[in-house]
Structure 1
Amino acid sequence: MATVYKEFIVEASAAQVWDALRDFDAVHTRLAPGFLTACTIDEEGARILTFANGLVARELLVGIDEAHRRLAYTVTGGQARHHHATAQVFEEGEGRSRFVWITDVLPDAMAAYIGPMMEQGGAVMKAALEGRPAPAAA
């Protein structure tokens, strides 16, 4: 199984970042606007995401851990046999936080596709959380 890590510092409090991250159904407006263009909720409570590159993914919430500011989700369907991800927010001093996003995926070759998407998504999230315009897509 391949694991992809994405970690970045956000110039916003952990409470502010967590508030946006935990809003599972508003990821396209609060966390990754522009990188994600739409989010709808299906009858089972999964979010159906449309990415700016045209990819559509179905993500099912596994859990929200308020005490540890950690959210876990899995992608169902698609090309990966297994896709599980977590995102967690840590205090990093006053008015700063550390965002840690980890994805486990099978087959291993999927990491070559997911890694660059997480890199781009992370840059968009950092900008959105800091109240800045998103960087131009590469």
Structure 2
Amino acid sequence: MASIRRDILIEAGPDHVWAAVRDYGQVHTRLAPGFVTGTTLEGDLRVVTFASGLMLRELIVDVDDQARRLAWAAIEGRATHHNGSLQVFAEDSGASRLVWITDILPHELAPPIGAIMAEGMVVMKRTLEQSARQAA
């Protein structure tokens, strides 16, 4: 199984970053606007529409406020296995480290998924830092 890990420093406090990650039905407005164009909830399922037109149905597996971790599993698509998580860590500086991990099969999907994740992290950083400045 391919395991892809991306992390990025966010110049915003961990509570601020976690509040946006935790609001998993608003990815398109609070976390990655433009990269994600729509998010809808259907019970325990989240349907995410990306700017590319790709649409994923994801089962929300866990929302852990103590660990500041959100976990999900894609239940449709080309992958035979696809689970992901976003976790927020506090940095000594008061900033946050956002870590996105995706486990996926088949292995051939790892390069394009890794590229998508890298692009998404840039958008998340920009969005979260901007919203933190506006909240200050």
* TM-score bracket relative to the smaller structure: over 0.9
Partner of 1:20: 20
Q: What is the aligned residue count?
A: 131
**Residues 1-138 of structure 1: pairs in structure 2 closer than 5 A:** 1-42=1-42, 44-131=43-130
Among all aligned residue pairs of Structure 1 and Structure 2, give the percentage whose two residues are the same amino acid: 48
2:130 alignment partner, SS class: coil
C-alpha distance in structure 2 between counterparts of 1:93 and 1:11, whole Å: 12
1:131 alignment partner, SS class: helix
Query: In angstroms, what is the RMSD of aligned CA positions?
Result: 1.1
- Normalised TM-score (structure 1): 0.91
Listed one character per residue, the Cα deviations across residues 73-121 of structure 1 (whole Å, up to 9, x for unaligned) are 0111100000011111011124301001100000111101100000000
The unaligned stretches of length 5 or more in structure 2 are 132-136
**Structure with greater proportional helix content:** 2
C-alpha distance in structure 1 between counterparts of 2:50 and 2:28, whole Å: 9
1:130 alignment partner, SS class: helix
Amino acid in structure 1 at the alignment position of 2:33: P
Provide runs of 4+ in structure 1 moved above 4 Å.
none
C-alpha distance in structure 2 between counterparts of 1:124 and 1:63, whole Å: 23
The unaligned stretches of length 5 or more in structure 1 are 133-138
